[in-house]
Amino acid sequence: MLFNSVEFMIFFPVVTILYFLLPHKLRWFLLLVSSCLFYMAFVPRYILILGFTIVIDYIAGILIDKLEGSRKRIFLIISILTNVGILFVFKYFNFFNENAERLAHMLGWNYPVSSLTIILPIGLSFHTFQSMSYIIEVYRGKHKSEKHFGIYALYVMYYPQLVAGPIERPQNMLWQFHTKHSFDTKRTVDGLKLMAWGFFKKLVIADNLALAVNAAYKSPEAVSGLTLVIATYFFAFQIYCDFSGYTDIARGASRIMGIELMQNFRLPYFSKSISEFWRRWHISLSSWFSDYVYISLGGSRCAKWKWHRNLLIVFLLSGLWHGAAWTYVIWGALNGFYLVFALLTRSLREKLSHAVRLDRLPALQKFVKVFVSFNLICFSWIFFRATSFTNARFIIKKIFTDFSLSINFGSAGITRYQVALCCCVVAFLTAVQLLQRSRTLSEEIEKKPLAVRWGLYYAGLILLILFGVFNTSSFIYFQF
Amino acid sequence: MKIIKKLFLFLAVFYLLTQLSLIFLLPQSTVYNNRLNYDVFKDNVHAIEPTVKAIKATIDKQDLKEYIIFVGDSVGYGTPCPPDKTMSSYMNLLAAGKNSRVRVFNLGIPSSMFGDFYTVLLLLDKYGISTENLILNFSYWEINAKTPAYWLKHYLKDLDRNSYDAMVSRGHIQQESPLAAAKAELHHRLNSYFAAIGYSGFISNKIKLNANSLLNQPSSEIMVWSKKPKLPRTLNLPENRWYYSDKTFNLSESSPQIYFLNKIAEHQKKKNTLYFMNAMNDRLLNGATEKPGFQSNLSGIARCFRDRKLNYIDYNKKVKYEYFSDHVHLLPEGYEFMAQDLWKKIMLNKENPDAV
């Protein structure tokens, strides 16, 4: 079920009202059943996969908690192999198989393994990583295993974050399911506002930008290099609003029920470096890789070359996590390269900054850093958005060879109004985010008198109705 | 419970403000400008209802005693021409030139067929708009199509449940799941009761049009068919060959189109109604319309109307080749020519029902 669907507009209030009407001991059951219905609205039979991993991880968690030493380790391995195995079969098998087939063909070998005809279950990477997080935390002794099967199943399946995160940790979620949450007016208002802002970001900003981005990326040969640059900037805002919009709706819906989900974005495009960007973008995934892969590999407390290798491994895996395609691998590798390059050139850059006296103008220095980081991130988004490596290569080549100043979205079927609307929504978002650097939008509005407050809410509602794209388009991160 | 009260008040104020401002202050031309606003309609079929309401408001405001309703497909709608260069617009100009108070209202819908035409008539009845004078156009292939109501099936379900059920039982309309039916009903109600939702498409479309004109957005060029080199190849694609198929058409009572033609004929009994089939561009279609099968279908269609004693004109061979923009749609000159001919015929038919 999509958040931006009519079904959800009925589902959400019904579930929330029932949640508060039911006694606490029955709430987990309501949420679990609702989550099953929410998930089954996509492809019903895939709930079996989810059910299978839940049973395996639940049992493994209890046994890991009980056992010691190598026996404990066996169940950790069983659980991780099950999760990674399912992920591999459904998400990566065809990718590796096709590449192996291509390699075999190049070498003139016979390759008899055919690809699987399966659809990727929605949000598979998200709930698999959340399950693994539980098992690793239990194994590390940082969290006790959950004895209540229903609560554990709910931890994996909790509908607001089931299909696109945030990828939660057991220590943040499980206790919240056990705690009784009464209806709270302030919390409800906060939750509704967060949801409204999420819907606005998705329907007004992301989906309008998507029209221009899709048109330009679909036929890059028809548009100029400058148009592709603008489309790439638009995509940067589209993906941010699409994903953070989803997260806001998820967090808002959950907050109303008293269950707080972790923050996934903290104004990432204001980052002064790539490493800062990754601490502000998709925080739940970045921290997952940091806690369970990067640190396990030795993190930064090792030889320099190993540190750099660790960074590259983490970002390659992060790229692969996003999708089984070379474009995602390159996108991940490129971000890893940025980080390593930044580390290698840190002193040189500091010297350069000092030489041109940029360090004496902190505001300008900050602006330059934000500007450079943002553009590097935008460059990497080309690989993320392109339909194939060839497509990405063509777009990059065109950007760096076609210097005509014409902006011709029109040849891709986009009118000037649509381009102007895209510029307006980007400007609006930037203005709001500049405000949000010091305090939240909600706090800012809260200070105003009632008439102004309501006026602003009405304006938002009218903008949503007039400029929202209500064709129930899916969220980009659902495919991961 | 304070929050519930506050939320309710917030929504009630919003509802009242939008209902009042949109219903009383929104210019009718934003909703109906010489024809149905297809840009809005294709994204939300419920746009038909504000359009019919806008026509009714114009009729009442101008106290029109006599008017003609134009129902039909994309040719009636006026594809690819702007709203002021359609058959209905040219007929309005003719009427104005003759100091006649007769006005023509265009409810042509691209890709619509007889089930949709019939449903439009029922909607007009619902809002008290007379169909005393009606022009109905259709294209050759539409009378053999298996889909009776492409756009307006939910309205058909609402306005003539028996016909809807008959189409479902014959398999011409797919049976809806209870969830899909509930969703459609909810969508319908939201559009009907909330002006902010029902009219939002028209307002955003108006903003779009104004902004594009402010930004000098070049309008799409209307070209004669002979200047479109890809057109013959496009028409030869398998999915487009049904436009000029020479296979025998089903014109029996089992055809969904004939079912609705009967319904329309019944609805229009003793009313001034003119049915016409759009001309096809034989030169572009490379003689496809000369094939015996095609000719036999044309005769069959003519017989169909004759048997029902309906005033019918087949415009094939009556429109110059240079008036076409493709296989069936016309250039402004073509629509002007058609308007002049139709004006004469509908007026003649009004005075003497057996003349056409």
Residue B334 lies in a domain: yes
Q: Do B207 and A462 touch (CB under 8 A)?
A: no
| Closest by Cβ to A466, choosing from B10, B179, B204 | B204
Same domain, A146 and A238: no
Instruction: Out of A73-87, A134-148, A194-208, A342-356, pick the least confident.
Output: A342-356
| Closest by Cβ to B2, choosing from A185, A465, A466 | A185
The stretch A149-163 carries a mean pLDDT of 93
CATH number at residue B99: 3.40.50.1110
Q: Do A465 and B197 touch (CB under 8 A)?
A: yes
d(CA B174, CA B147): 10
Band (A137; pLDDT cuts 50, 70, 90): very high
ipTM, two decimals, is: 0.76
Q: Which DSSP string do the residues of B206-267 spell out, in sequence order?
A: HHHHHHHHHTTPPPPPP--GGG-TTHHHHHTSGGGGGGG--SPP--STTSHHHHHHHHHHHH
Per CB-CB distance under 8 Å, the chain B contacts of A466 are 200, 203-204, 207
Task: Point out which residues pair with B133 in neighbouring strands.
Answer: B272
| Closest by Cβ to B212, choosing from A7, A417, A471 | A417
Q: Is B16 touching A (CB cutoff 8 A)?
A: no
- Per DSSP, the three-state class of A314 is helix
Per CB-CB distance under 8 Å, the chain A contacts of B215 are 416-417, 420
Per CB-CB distance under 8 Å, the chain B contacts of A188 are 3
Residue A12 lies in a domain: yes
Length of chain A: 480
Same domain, A263 and A340: yes
- Per DSSP, the three-state class of A83 is helix
Residue B69 lies in a domain: yes
Same domain, A333 and A460: yes
Q: Do B218 and A410 touch (CB under 8 A)?
A: yes
SS3 string of A237-281? HHHHHHHHHHHHHHHHHHHHCCCCCCCCCCCHHHCCCHHHHHHHC
| Closest by Cβ to B14, choosing from A7, A10, A461 | A461
Encoded tokens for B131: 């169909």
Residue B126 lies in a domain: yes
What's the confidence (pLDDT) of residue A393? 94
Q: What is the amino acid identity at position A117?
A: T
Q: Which of A180, A196, A219 is the last residue of a domain?
A: A180
| Residues in chain A whose Cβ is within 8 Å of chain B | 6-7, 10, 185, 188-189, 410, 415-417, 420-421, 454, 457-458, 461-462, 465-467, 471
d(CA B2, CA B40): 39
d(CA B182, CA A7): 10
Q: Do A466 and B203 touch (CB under 8 A)?
A: yes
Question: Min CA distance, A270 vs chain B (Å)?
Answer: 31
Same domain, A223 and A105: no
Q: Is B211 touching A (CB cutoff 8 A)?
A: yes
Residue A423 lies in a domain: yes
Distances (CA, A) of B21 to B24, B72, B79, B106, B200: 5, 32, 32, 26, 12
Catalytic pick from A181, A282, A308, A322?
A322
Same domain, A264 and A396: yes
Contact B35, B71 (CB under 8 A): no
pLDDT digits (tens, 9 = 90+) for A235-265: 999 999 999 999 999 999 999 999 999 999 9
Per CB-CB distance under 8 Å, the chain B contacts of A185 are 2-3
Residue A1 lies in a domain: no
| Closest by Cβ to B211, choosing from A6, A410, A420 | A420
Encoded tokens for B128: 């008290």
Same domain, A76 and A113: yes
Same domain, A323 and A377: yes
Residue A449 lies in a domain: yes
Is A322 one of the annotated active-site residues of the chain? yes
Residue A278 lies in a domain: yes
Residue A414 lies in a domain: yes
Length of chain B: 356
* Residue B238 structural domain: 31-161+220-351
Q: Is B187 touching A (CB cutoff 8 A)?
A: yes
Q: Which of A4, A16, A465, A470 to mutate: most B Cβ within 10 Å?
A: A465
What's the confidence (pLDDT) of residue A474? 66
The stretch A433-461 carries a mean pLDDT of 85
Give per-residue burial for B124-149: e unless 16+ CB within 10 Å, then b: beeeebebebbbbbbbbbbbbbebbb
Question: Min CA distance, A451 vs chain B (Å)?
Answer: 11
**Chain B, nearest residue to A8 by Cα:** B183
Question: Is the pLDDT confidence value at A387 over 80?
Answer: yes
pLDDT digits (tens, 9 = 90+) for A157-184: 999 998 887 999 999 999 999 999 999 9
What's the confidence (pLDDT) of residue A472? 63
Per CB-CB distance under 8 Å, the chain B contacts of A415 are 208, 212, 217
CB pairs below 8 Å between A and B: how many? 45
What's the confidence (pLDDT) of residue A473? 65
Residue B180 lies in a domain: no
pLDDT digits (tens, 9 = 90+) for A271-322: 999 999 999 999 999 999 999 999 989 888 888 889 999 999 999 999 999 9
Residue B20 lies in a domain: no
Same domain, A274 and A336: yes
Contact A332, A319 (CB under 8 A): yes
Q: Is B189 touching A (CB cutoff 8 A)?
A: no
Task: Point out which residues pair with B275 in neighbouring strands.
Answer: B136, B312
Interior angle at CA A295, CA A294 and CA A298, nearest 5: 95
Residue B96 lies in a domain: yes
Q: Do B215 and A410 touch (CB under 8 A)?
A: no
What's the confidence (pLDDT) of residue B346? 87
Residue B215 lies in a domain: no
Ranges of residues in chain B whose predicted pLDDT is under 50: none
Residue A236 lies in a domain: yes
Nearest CA-CA partner of A176 in A262, A261, A284, A259: A259
Same domain, A303 and A407: yes
Q: Do A420 and B196 touch (CB under 8 A)?
A: no
Same domain, A175 and A202: no
Average pLDDT, chain A: 90
Contact B261, B122 (CB under 8 A): no
Contact B90, B335 (CB under 8 A): yes
Question: Min CA distance, A406 vs chain B (Å)?
Answer: 14
Owner of token pair 């229009």: B268
Neighbours of A37 (CB within 10 A): 16
Cis (ω within 30 of 0) for the bond into A170?
no
Q: Do A465 and B200 touch (CB under 8 A)?
A: yes
* Residue A63 structural domain: 6-180
Q: Which of B16, B208, B214, B216 to mutate: most A Cβ within 10 Å?
A: B208
**Chain A, nearest residue to B11 by Cα:** A458
What's the confidence (pLDDT) of residue B356? 52
Q: Do A417 and B200 touch (CB under 8 A)?
A: no
Q: Do B200 and A189 touch (CB under 8 A)?
A: no
d(CA A432, CA A345): 34
What's the confidence (pLDDT) of residue A302? 85
Cβ contacts of residue A338 below 8 Å, gap of 6+? Answer: A274, A376, A380
Contact A83, A53 (CB under 8 A): yes
Task: Point out which residues pair with B69 in neighbouring strands.
Answer: B105, B134
Q: Is B188 touching A (CB cutoff 8 A)?
A: no
Same domain, A270 and A404: yes
How many domains would you assign to chain A?
Answer: 2
How many domains would you assign to chain B?
Answer: 1
Residue A36 lies in a domain: yes
Q: Do B196 and A465 touch (CB under 8 A)?
A: yes
Question: Min CA distance, A176 vs chain B (Å)?
Answer: 24
Encoded tokens for A371: 């500007």
Same domain, A96 and A235: no
Q: Do A416 and B211 touch (CB under 8 A)?
A: yes
d(CA A369, CA A374): 8
Question: Min CA distance, A232 vs chain B (Å)?
Answer: 23
Residues 136-175 of B with CB under 8 A from A: none
Residue B234 lies in a domain: yes
